Amino acid sequence: MATQYFARPHLQFFGVSTAYVVRKIGLSDLRDALRLGWEDFQAIPTHAVVLCVIYPVLGLVLFRLVLGYSVLPLLFPLAAGFALIGPFAALGLYELSRRRERGEEAAAWHAMHVLSAPSFGAILGLGVLLLVLFGVWIAAADAIYIAIFGYAAAASIPDFATRVLTTAEGWSLIIIGCGVGFLFALVSLCISVVSFPLMLDRHATAIDAVRTSLRAVKENPFVMAAWGLIVAALLVIGSLPLFLGLAVVLPVLGHATWHLYRKVVEPDPNPPLEEQPRTPIGHRYAADFPASLFPWSHER
């Protein structure tokens, strides 16, 4: 497909001139990004799982806390909240995809290279914003439930499911909760769809990254809406078996987000010398584990 470009004029932030070119993409680019994300996961599955196993573990802990503290109604909002903080939490996965794309070694410890990202301070700042957004969403979800059902806690999961699925109040909760959740997800998508990969890859301020992300959504509204639906659907699928599916869904989405960024934002035409791609080193497969964790133990 023909690629269209949308360049913005040079802006001055603290005396530094920045310009990022946004491409117009299609649904085929989303399929390709997911395919490349899956290939990254297959090539370095042990590393991706090591990075993301914390998510299903966290989900199980949250599940237990929810039952123990009688806040069962917050279980779904907590699971849905992964979509809000996911772009920040997937930083290590972006770095692995970036290294593999450049033909460099991609092992679990290389995810720590995000600490030396050109815009690490800006990454932290925007990450805190997403965490605040997550906290506000949980508070809003709790307030909606209390407004409809009051403070009476559900006795069990079947009792809660009966309340929600078989009563008029329950359907009001579903409609209002999903509507409010959609607004939170929309805000998160607009400000972060390419922000974190851009700040990891380039010397970009948080303002620059958010503006570029907003422009990406503006120039590709239908495609970005489709991407948001794909992310939401996969997170729901991954959350159903007690969040265990997130061990696969989250790394694939993280890798795919990096490739989506590559398709949406034009690469730097004059990268620094140290950023020049190296000769590809080839694939690493799950069969290499655990030897692949010790690259010095074998010749490449």
Q: What is the pLDDT of residues 58-86, one digit of tens each?
A: 666 666 665 555 667 777 887 778 788 88
The H helix count followed by the E strand count for the chain is: 13, 4
* Domain contains 298: no
* Domain contains 139: yes
Residue type, 272: P
- Residue 260 pLDDT: 96
Domain residues for the domain of 181 are: 24-267
Give the pLDDT band of residue 49 (cuts 50, 70, 90): low
Rg (CA), the chain: 21
Total domain count for the chain? 1
- Residue 44 pLDDT: 80
For the residues 183-201, what does the mean pLDDT come to? 93
* Domain contains 229: yes
- Residue 209 pLDDT: 93
Give the pLDDT band of residue 250 (cuts 50, 70, 90): confident
206 φψ region: left (φ > 0), alpha (ψ -120 to 50), beta (else)? alpha
- Residue 27 pLDDT: 95
Is the distance from CB of 229 to CB of 143 less than 8 angstroms?
A: no
By C-alpha distance, which of 135, 143, 34, 37 is closest to 84? 135
* Domain contains 7: no
Q: Match 């730097």 to its residue by tokens.
A: 268
- Please state the pTM of the whole predicted model: 0.76
Cis peptide before 290 (omega within 30 of 0): yes
Give the pLDDT band of residue 90 (cuts 50, 70, 90): confident
- Residue 127 pLDDT: 92
* Domain contains 293: no
* Domain contains 44: yes
* Domain contains 277: no
* Domain contains 97: yes
